[in-house]
Amino acid sequence: MTIELKIQELRDELRQHNYNYYILDNPTISDYEFDMKLKELQALEDANPQLFDHNSPTQRVGGTITKNFNTIVHDFRMYSLDNSYSKEDLLDWEKRIKKMVDGEVQYTCELKYDGASINLTYEDGKLIRAVTRGDGVQGDEVTPNVKTIKTVPLQLKGDFPKRFDIRGEIILPIEGFLKMNKERISNNEEPYRNPRNTASGSLKLQDSAEVAKRPLECLLYSIKGNDLHISTQYEGLEKARVWGFKVPKEAKLVNSIDEVLDFVAYWDEHRHNLPYEIDGVVIKVNSLFQQDELGFTAKAPRWAMAYKFKAEQVSTRLNEITYQVGRTGAITPVANLEPVQLAGTIVKRASLHNADQIEKLDIRVGDAVYVEKGGEIIPKIVGIDLSKRPKDSQPTVYITHCPECGTELIRPEGEAKHYCPNDSGCPPQVVGRIQHYISRKAMDIEGLGGETVALLVKESLITNYADLYELTVDQIIPLERMAEKSAENLVKGIMASKQIPFERVLFALGIRYVGETVAKKLAKHYKSIDALMFASMLDLISVDEIGDRIAKSVVEFFSIEANKSIIARLKHYGVQLEISADKLANQTDKLKGQTFVVSGVFETVSRADLKKLIEDNGGKVSSSISSKTSYVVAGDKMGPSKRTKAENLNITILTEIAFLELMK
């Protein structure tokens, strides 16, 4: 036998033993025998470096040092999930689904693991990259760290697609977490707070050898790709298990919402018997065709719902109420609490939302308060134990002046929050607006973070986001923790942001109520910042889905001379303040004022491309048929009830070919 064949034989054998141990939980050799075979393989690879393989079992020990994690755009966006907290929420969700799809609906019920989301990409059966969820559009590449996790197969088994993504959760089992903390305490080190945060933090360690020491696992639950030849979610789980992935066996295929509720009730009671933490159940429409029919909202799939178990609640003392100033000048009262353990973390602060909330609960300093962390990142106060209220307690008087700059606060009519109107001189507002401008979903300026922005403002190098484009390397180098290379990269990142498309620039400007989706609509309608600046309230309201509140905010933003001056400077520096000619060439108003429903399976173009074609030409895509629908574009397997509804409403049904002819 040649050395090459011997090495390959050992690799295959060790992969099988790894699969038996970590996936099947059925080891067929002892740990000692496994270690001996691994050492034999390592020695052969060391003696024959020309036969090195990134996906060899020997590579799981780590050792790669990563100082900067590359940002990678996901091939398929990683959406968030809508949350539900009651039986009624799930029943309402089912009603919405039944209105939108034809035929019987099956559901896949899966446990909602409390860990760090990960996207793994495989090509020809080999792991080629691992990327964190990030903001859903792009994340950080952490491949060397993920390769050390034993339940992530480096080489797949069986009949797998040529290229695909698989999503899952990196978790730290409770037993492993307790063992890690026991060791830390014995070494006089601070114990980790909870398994979830420890798992998430592990992915961003610079030394993969340190990650290899942690008993992390990867539980997989979703396959994405083209030509997968998979028709249901449950089939995908079963195939993933055959290919070598660890797919929890608790997942269950059910035929009704009543069975979903039974699954939820069972795991709400038995979740503490699991070897890892869960915080709920994820319910998905099983048919991938029906999933495609249901589509997505701006943030989440319509075909999935996360049921969150009831939040944990604790009692503690409210020591002080402080006030934070946001980038829009909004004042948020914050409860500073006697530190208390809640859901695996030490809680010291909780949001009080606004003056109305304080008045409604009659919250006072010194109160014994009930704190909850349910579906919220920041804990909230949900009640007060009046029996423990001090006798000398005084009602809370809401502040009248900004805690940062002393300006008298205003409260616009009909709004719950108070605001500081000193937008150009209040430090948190100045810093917050620039931090929003450079954020990942906006200008995404590489090399520039929130702390650096605060430092630049503090040192009076910038007072608004237009000032960024005048920064020089020599100005930046003297800043704390700023080397010459870092300063050069920061300036390069700022210059590169001039290529960011108009709709993201519009979002970056920080106009109140203009989020990502609204910015896209306004950019598409007005094509340039100049046209938008001169739009009246009446003009803006005529734009699809733009209401009075957004229109008023846009008009007010452009009525301020300082804002107009900043935009003039951005234009001078070359920032994209209009839709590019290339993009304009692909857009028309041919379908303006018309609403389309796209249903079925298509041959020439994908469903997503069809929808984009409609939107690029001024049309609107809706998920359900109504009297407002102009056309239905029908592909193969269009549901009979949708066809019947369209015919009853006398709506024209176009085939895929007829629609494409119409577009010509």
pLDDT, residue 402, reads 97
pLDDT, residue 364, reads 95
pLDDT, residue 501, reads 94
Q: What is the CA radius of gyration of the chain?
A: 28
pLDDT, residue 528, reads 95
Helix (H, G, I), strand (E, B) or coil at 30: coil
DSSP 338: E
From the list 259, 268, 258, 249, the residue with the least C-alpha distance to 307 is 268
Average pLDDT score over residue span 455-464: 93
Residue 586 clears pLDDT 70, i.e. is over it: no
Least confident of 234-243, 402-411, 570-579, 581-590: 581-590
The 8 Å CB, 24+ separation contacts for 128-134 are: 129/72, 131/72, 131/74, 132/203, 133/78, 134/71, 134/74, 134/78, 134/440
Average pLDDT score over residue span 220-245: 95
Q: What is the pLDDT of residues 27-58, one digit of tens each?
A: 788 777 887 888 888 888 888 888 888 778 87
pLDDT, residue 508, reads 96
pLDDT, residue 553, reads 93
Where helices occur in 244-351 by DSSP H, the ranges are 257-270, 288-294
Average pLDDT score over residue span 287-306: 90
Average pLDDT score over residue span 636-647: 82
Percent of the chain with pLDDT over 90: 53
Least confident of 5-9, 141-145, 375-379, 420-424: 375-379
One-letter amino acid at 14 equals L
Least confident of 264-268, 559-563, 605-609: 605-609
From the list 232, 94, 100, 95, the residue with the least C-alpha distance to 638 is 100
Q: How confident is the model at residue 13 (pLDDT cuts 50, 70, 90)?
A: confident
Residue 148 clears pLDDT 70, i.e. is over it: yes
Residue 379 clears pLDDT 90, i.e. is over it: no
pLDDT, residue 344, reads 65
From the list 145, 195, 534, 526, the residue with the least C-alpha distance to 344 is 195
Residue 576 CB partners (closer than 8 Å, separation 6+): 498, 499, 500, 501, 502, 505
CA distances from 199 to 68, 206, 218, 248 (A): 19, 14, 10, 18
Residue 377 clears pLDDT 60, i.e. is over it: no
From 37, 39, 87, 112, active-site residue:
112
Average pLDDT score over residue span 544-569: 93
CB 105 within 8 A of CB 151: no
From the list 162, 17, 23, 146, the residue with the least C-alpha distance to 9 is 17
Percent of the chain with pLDDT over 70: 97
Q: What is the pLDDT of residues 162-194, one digit of tens each?
A: 999 999 999 999 999 989 888 888 777 778 878
CB 519 within 8 A of CB 554: no
Average pLDDT score over residue span 294-311: 88
From the list 464, 407, 460, 477, the residue with the least C-alpha distance to 434 is 464
Residue 378 clears pLDDT 80, i.e. is over it: no
Residue 637 CB partners (closer than 8 Å, separation 6+): 289, 600, 601
d(CA 342, CA 312): 7
Quote the mean pLDDT of the chain: 89
d(CA 232, CA 106): 10
Q: How confident is the model at residue 215 (pLDDT cuts 50, 70, 90)?
A: very high
Residue 201 clears pLDDT 60, i.e. is over it: yes
CA distances from 425 to 208, 328, 402, 456, 628 (A): 45, 12, 11, 15, 48
Least confident of 260-269, 540-549, 576-585: 576-585
| 592 classed as catalytic | no
pLDDT, residue 615, reads 84
From the list 106, 152, 163, 156, the residue with the least C-alpha distance to 130 is 152
Q: What is the pLDDT of residues 113-129, one digit of tens each?
A: 988 999 999 999 999 99
